[in-house]
Amino acid sequence: MSIAGIILCAGKSTRMKSARSKVLHSVCGKPLCHWVIEKALQVCDGPIVVVVGFQADEVQKNIEGRFGARILFAQQKEQKGTADAVFTGLGALPDFHGTLLVMYGDTPALDVEKLSELCKNQHKSNCKVALLTTQHFFAADSGYGRIVRQKDGSIAKIVEEIDASEEEKKINEVNVGVYAFDADFLRQIPLKLKPSNKKNELYLTDAIALAKTHAPVVSIEIPYHESIGVNDRSDLARIEYCLYQQIVERWMLAGVTFSDSAHICVEAEVRLGQDILLEPGVQLRGKTLIANNVTIGTGSILRDTIVEEGAVIHPYSICENAHIGRNAQVGPFARLRPNSILEENAKIGNFVETKNTRFRKGSKANHLAYIGDAEVGEASNVGAGTITCNYDGFGKHKTILGDRVFIGSNSTLVAPLTIGNGAYVAAGSTVTKDVADNTLAIGRGRQENKAGYASRLRDRLKKRKETDC
């Protein structure tokens, strides 16, 4: 049995109230259409065609960027209905004979096993079409097509809501919009369909009535949450909630502890080890990778970040495109910007920000510092209030600290700058010249103490204030 796919991504979807194609809206970290295409790739052994229309170039570019040459494209230049879209896709498969899986690009929660079963049922029963249905007990004004059955229980037709009678609108069994067609049958019916509905479009559902004249239509009922298609932002929120719950359930079964699963966000492409503790409000986004025995504290947000075994991310830390080494510590209230690398046992403490910086093994910046475009050697200490002056208004410059360097509090390191192994920078220094190994650098103004002058200064300031008043 050979299975090809057609995925419909041409619609404008005015109900989204968006200038962007609906299928490019993100759910759990990736576009809606990516979810559907990934599932089609698991089911289909033949080619997959994505039908584009609204914002065709943007949709095609996005899909090609993720899936490359594995996907074919067909453009529906005028949106004349779902049947016209499928026939457009079928035109890209002139030599295909087998089962054709048809899906919408906005139904991300479909189950791969059910899709495979649908295609197998179509092939084994030799029917012209098999389809998925679901029970929607709030179907009135939902936009779903109703499944109309004959007295013997077989499917007679599908009626779109806009064309349904009041009695038909009371039907709770609805069409999901996923079909397994016999490809040769589908090629024969374009001239048999007429735009007889109120919107003057060609509906794919009209093919069901034609198919049943050859053989009974096969159906599989699936749970409603798997069938949700996205028509507006309310649907988008609903399906995202369902998918997040599936993701959380999968990781809990794999050995991850969620201390408050309803308020933790783990996106689809995140990968987790075992014995991880995720506290309330944690967000793991993008291609974040967390190894075993890691704790991530309340309110922390990690995007495209690698965390090695035994590391601790304390509450309310933000890490983006960072690499956190084995047994390292971050936060609380720390920010690791792109290309921040912490080696084993390194520590970035509260209100410390790093960017394009490597902290080597055992080095630390415990409080209130900005370290950007820097290399910090092993076992070095960066004191509170320290900043690297890495930008001169035109370009970025690098600060290099050797091993076992001590930077006193409130120091200003003006790049480009190299501070050698074992060097010591006195607190409050502004350092503009390189510091050799094992050297003490003091870069601050000379202090002068004037005995008795404090009271004279207060009197002078007091008189100035009175005069101003």
Residues noted as catalytic? 367
Report yes or no: 203 and 197 within 8 Å, Cβ to Cβ: yes
Burial of 205 (0-12, 13-18, 19+ CB in 10 A): buried
- Residues in CB range of 109: below 8 A, 6 or more apart: 35, 225, 226, 227, 228, 239, 242, 243, 246
- Concatenate the DSSP letters of all residues of 359-386 into one string: E-TT-EEEEEEEEEEEEE-TT-EE-TT-
Residue that is written with structure tokens 């794919």 in the block: 204
416/389 Cα distance (integer angstroms): 9
Q: Give the three-class secondary structure for 113.
A: helix
How many CA atoms within 13 Å lie on the side-chain side of 68? 2
- The pair of structure tokens assigned to 406 is 């001590």
The radius of gyration computed from the CA coordinates of the chain, to the nearest angstrom, equals 32
3-state secondary structure of 159: strand
Distance of alpha carbon 342 from alpha carbon 334, whole angstroms: 13
Q: Judge contact between 101 and 40, C-beta under 8 A.
A: yes
Cβ proximity of 404 and 421 under 8 Å: yes
